[in-house]
Amino acid sequence: MIDNPYYTNEFHGEYELISIGQLDLEEGGSIPDCQLAVATFGTLNDAKDNAILVTTWYSGTHQIFRDVYIGPEHALNPEKYFIVVINQIGNGLSTSPHNAPDDLAMSKFPKVRIGDDVVAQERLLREHFGIETLQLVVGGSMGAQQTYEWAVRFPDKVERAAPIAGTAQNTPHDFLYTHTLNEAIRSDPGWDGGEYKSNEDVKAGLTRQADIWGVVGFSTEFWKQEVWRALEFTTMDEFLDGFLRPYFTVMDPNDLLAMAWKWQRGDVTRHTGGDLGAALGRITAKTFVMPINEDMFFPPRDCAAEQALVPNSELRVVDDVLGHLGLFGVAPTYMPQIDQHLKELLDSDA
């Protein structure tokens, strides 16, 4: 267990650690006391039928949703809905390599799959809050993987689904992309087979990971148009050193690797023997598939191919020059589009 100040209330505001007990894992083994970090917004009504689940992405936590996506001015309106953001296993706030008990910690952390997260989330919602159905499941990137997994695994529980900038079945390109992110960490001698003493020991590797994100996570136009100037940086290097690299270097390397392993293997066809049409055909939720037009690794055509297999679905492409990392909501034109699509989805009959 490592003491990393990034994964604290000081940086992440209020959240609750909720134990769901022992979580048996698809790959074998278990997490004896699986704790999920949960942030809620709004009030669960007596019928317990106004809940929305928000899932988190690689490197992300509930924080970005609290700060950018959720509020009375947004579709994710806590005055109307009970919004539950559940941090994914391995993200540093929920049970993760860096904070697990010694026998699960660091290099000993078990392999966790997207399906394990969704099973854990369903149990938490049901046992802790008494929630049996969700008005909406929504998440971006790895959060979209969880959203699809929810809609395929628990079709009766998901009224609406909004996978943003992500896929139901991870693509080979994304597998290789994630491999390069992992290798940036694992090639750092400071990583030491996962037994480093501090994330600071792996700063060089985390910096290399950040730079690869810079190449694939943003769009070519983001750099060409110097969109980073909107964040009040005056040079590209300042943006890298002041924003993108520090974003990753404070994080825990093993936590990132645990999430990456999941990301690489996200695949709803595990339920249907490899048949994507059959898996997505199970979805009964009204679904808006929402790729970002400039996304370089979840391009709209990959998302559109899946959307075509979801019975009650629409493709809603979000325009954002930032590309995949448009998910951060930096562009002033981003959230209005998200809100418009989610509001329309929430207002529609499921």
Residues with catalytic annotation? Answer: 141, 295, 324
Residue 19: phi, psi to the nearest 5?
Answer: -85, 135
Q: How far is the CB of 208 from a second copy (least distance, A)?
A: 5
| Options 28, 193, 224, 332; binder of a second copy; rule CB under 8 A | 224
Q: How far is the CB of 333 from a second copy (least distance, A)?
A: 19
User: Distance between CA 89 and CA 26 in Å, rounded?
Assistant: 14
Structure tokens at 165: 């900038």
Number of residues that bind a second copy (CB under 8 A): 35
Identify whether the C-beta of residue 95 lies closer than 8 Å to the C-beta of residue 88: no
Structure tokens at 306: 């899946």
173 binds a second copy (CB under 8 A): yes
273 binds a second copy (CB under 8 A): no
C-beta closer to a second copy: residue 203 or 282 = 203
Q: Which amino acid is at 33?
A: D
User: Distance between CA 326 and CA 186 in Å, rounded?
Assistant: 27
Residues 180-219 that bind a second copy (CB under 8 A): 180, 183-184, 187-189, 204-205, 208, 211-212, 214-216, 218
Q: How far is the CB of 191 from a second copy (least distance, A)?
A: 11
Identify whether the C-beta of residue 9 lies closer than 8 Å to the C-beta of residue 105: no
| Options 236, 319, 333, 340; binder of a second copy; rule CB under 8 A | 236
3-state class (DSSP) for residue 88: coil
Q: How far is the CB of 290 from a second copy (least distance, A)?
A: 18
Tell me the window of 4-12, 48-56, 178-186, 326-334 that interacts with a second copy (CB under 8 A): 178-186
234 binds a second copy (CB under 8 A): no
Q: Which amino acid is at 271?
A: H
User: Distance between CA 137 and CA 59 in Å, rounded?
Assistant: 19
C-beta closer to a second copy: residue 70 or 322 = 322
265 binds a second copy (CB under 8 A): no
User: Distance between CA 242 and CA 247 in Å, rounded?
Assistant: 9
Residue holding tokens 């990301």? Answer: 263
Q: Residues 289-308: x/- map of binding to a second copy (CB under 8 A)?
A: -------xx-x-xx------
| Options 1, 176, 304, 308; binder of a second copy; rule CB under 8 A | 176
User: Distance between CA 91 and CA 251 in Å, rounded?
Assistant: 9
C-beta closer to a second copy: residue 17 or 236 = 236
3-state class (DSSP) for residue 97: coil
169: left (phi over 0), alpha (psi -120 to 50) or beta: beta
Q: How far is the CB of 174 from a second copy (least distance, A)?
A: 8
The 8-class DSSP code of residue 201 comes to: G
User: Distance between CA 253 and CA 205 in Å, rounded?
Assistant: 9
Would you tell me which residues interact with a second copy (CB under 8 A)? 171-173, 175-177, 179-180, 183-184, 187-189, 204-205, 208, 211-212, 214-216, 218, 220-224, 226, 236, 240, 296-297, 299, 301-302
